[in-house]
Amino acid sequence: MEPLSNYFIGRIQKDFNKGKTIVGGLYTNTLRDLEGTMHDEYHKMAQTAGIDITQFFKDKNWMISLNTAFSNVQGTASAIASTQESSVHYFQRPGVSHLNYNINRKQLSGNGGSLSAGKIGGKWNFMFFGLWKSPGLELNDVGYLRRADQLMGILWGAYHINEPFGIFKEMHFNSDYYSVHDFGGNYISSGYELSAFTKFKNYWSSGFHANINTNGNDNTMLRGGPSIKVPGEFRLHYSLETDSRKKLSAELEAGWMNGFYNSQSFSVFSLSLNFRPLNTLQIELEPEYIQEKNELQFIDNPESGNTTHYVFGGIQQDVFRLSARINYSITPDFTIQFWGQPFAASGKFSRYKSITNPNADKYGNRFEIFQPNQISYNQSADVFAIDENIDGIHDYSFENPNFNEDEFLSNLVIRWEFVPGSTVYLVWSQKRDYSSNLGKFSFSDEMKHLFDGDKPYNVFLLKFSYRIGLR
């Protein structure tokens, strides 16, 4: 249940010197009327403020921009402790000197921002980006912040060919190098990216992207545990699009990733078909299939005695979705729109393991795979029990992590503008879902479970608006 709350967001901006100088400011405020246990679940007050300045030079071919953000959240000691322990911050991580974890504090403050400068005009472009998010930065009351405690630097360059030549209409090339650290100066990751985009004279286009991440460290992978060394990875992505002006057009995308030391792999294939048989009718189909394998997928962090265990497993995850969209304008005043998407995902775990030495130089020494005499499965309780020291006594257990998650979503919207400015909308929204822990992927079986199982959840909405003319 959401408590009685007040949200305020304000933004001001002013241009100077014919748009060459732009100055802005932002302020947000959240106030909550908390009762009972809500005191320990929500912030009583949350404020953020920021200033941004952008300056252009030499006919706006060069620029420098600074953005800043400051945050402060207040509440009970329990509420602020929950914020410190959340996945955004993980202040409780052991062996970290630059994080001040205090279960008695009743407020948390932080800052963040970015600085960018470079050349943005002409054929050659280059830019420096700097980004910082202090450990205490918190924006999630009115906004979104996935991770704090980050320092990032990026060097980017690009070359553009905008004049047609040969079979090409235009070409663009981009490359960058980035490096990430935390506020303790600890190295997180770095990598290189290269991309190219081409549009042909027949209005087809293609794109290519390559990325390599070097070996690094992950401060969040153990969910509040110590930092762990993680393998790097190599990624490729390719896209091809036909002439979108035609009645039938298509776009094909394919992506591939492989982690160092066979630690993980990822592949994705998607196709987008756009068919316009009439000027008033448009039909889109977008199937997509994803397969991911990861030898270090987090499962649980159970405790036994005074020891926290970090249980991981190898996972194969399969995902398939099919989006369908129909737009039909019977008349300019009467339209029908439909969107629907069946979705099926499964995850099958194996090779269960415990992280034993997260900072070992050799990848295989960072964990120990449970042997058959260390792990047992209780089918009736659907849990795995672990006996690490093989003394016949279970040290801890965790639930069966295999999963199947299936869903069907659809929206049908009928719009009628019966007089200019006055409209009636009829909306039908439907949701179906099904879940199990089999971990086996079969799209036909998943769809059968969806449509033969529980009744769907339907929402019907009628919206009426009438414009009253004023003289």
Distances (CA, A) of 229 to 126, 185, 235, 359: 32, 15, 19, 5
pLDDT interval class at 183 (50, 70, 90): very high
List residues bridging with 311 in a β-sheet: 300, 354
- Residues 6 or more apart from 40 whose CB is under 8 A from it? 76, 78, 79, 82
CA–CA–CA angle 290, 296, 297 (5° rounding):
60
Residue 319, pLDDT score: 96
Distances (CA, A) of 117 to 63, 83, 112: 6, 34, 17
- Cβ atoms of 50 and 13 closer than 8 Å: no
Of the listed ranges 64-68, 163-167, 203-207, 443-447, the least confidently predicted one is 443-447
What average pLDDT does range 291-320 have in this prediction? Answer: 95
Query: Which of 415, 244, 237 has the alpha carbon at shortest distance from 331?
Result: 415
The span from the CA of 251 to the CA of 10, in Å, is: 40
Q: Is 447 helix (H, G, I), strand (E, B) or coil?
A: helix
State both tokens at 49. 């403020």
Residue with structure tokens 């000027």?
279
State both tokens at 74. 């207040």
pTM over 0.95: no
What average pLDDT does range 191-201 have in this prediction? Answer: 98
pLDDT interval class at 305 (50, 70, 90): confident
The span from the CA of 280 to the CA of 74, in Å, is: 54
**At residue 471, does pLDDT exceed 90?**
no
- Cβ atoms of 301 and 310 closer than 8 Å: yes
In this predicted model, what pLDDT tens digit does every residue of 9-56 receive, in sequence order?
A: 999 999 999 999 999 999 999 999 998 778 889 999 999 999 999 999
CA–CA–CA angle 137, 139, 140 (5° rounding):
130
In this predicted model, what pLDDT tens digit does every residue of 431-454 receive, in sequence order?
A: 999 999 999 998 888 888 888 877
What single-letter amino acid sits at 25?
G
Residue 470, pLDDT score: 53
In this predicted model, what pLDDT tens digit does every residue of 99-135 receive, in sequence order?
A: 999 999 999 999 999 999 999 999 999 999 999 999 9
- Cβ atoms of 193 and 170 closer than 8 Å: no
In this predicted model, what pLDDT tens digit does every residue of 127-158 receive, in sequence order?
A: 999 999 999 999 999 999 999 999 999 999 99
In this predicted model, what pLDDT tens digit does every residue of 225-242 receive, in sequence order?
A: 999 999 999 999 999 999
What is the percent of the chain with per-residue pLDDT over 90, rounded to a whole number?
A: 91
Distance of CA 229 to the CA centre of its chain: 22
SS3 readout for 100-147: CCCCCCCEEEEEEEEEEEEECCCCEEEEEEEEEECCCCCCCCCCCCCC
List residues bridging with 274 in a β-sheet: 249, 284
Query: Which of 156, 182, 145, 443 has the alpha carbon at shortest distance from 291?
Result: 443
- Residues 6 or more apart from 4 whose CB is under 8 A from it? 32, 33
What average pLDDT does range 424-434 have in this prediction? Answer: 96
SS3 readout for 29-85: EEEEECCHHHHHCCCCEEEEEEEEEEEEECCCCEEEEEEEEEEEEECCHHHHHHHHH
Q: Is 390 helix (H, G, I), strand (E, B) or coil?
A: coil
What DSSP line would sit under 241-304, residue for residue?
E--TTSSEEEEEEEEEEEEGGG-EEEEEEEEEEEEEEETTEEEEEEEEEEEEEEEEEEEE--EE
- Cβ atoms of 440 and 396 closer than 8 Å: no
Residue 105, pLDDT score: 96
Q: Is 222 helix (H, G, I), strand (E, B) or coil?
A: coil
Residue 39, pLDDT score: 87
Residue with structure tokens 């800052």?
111
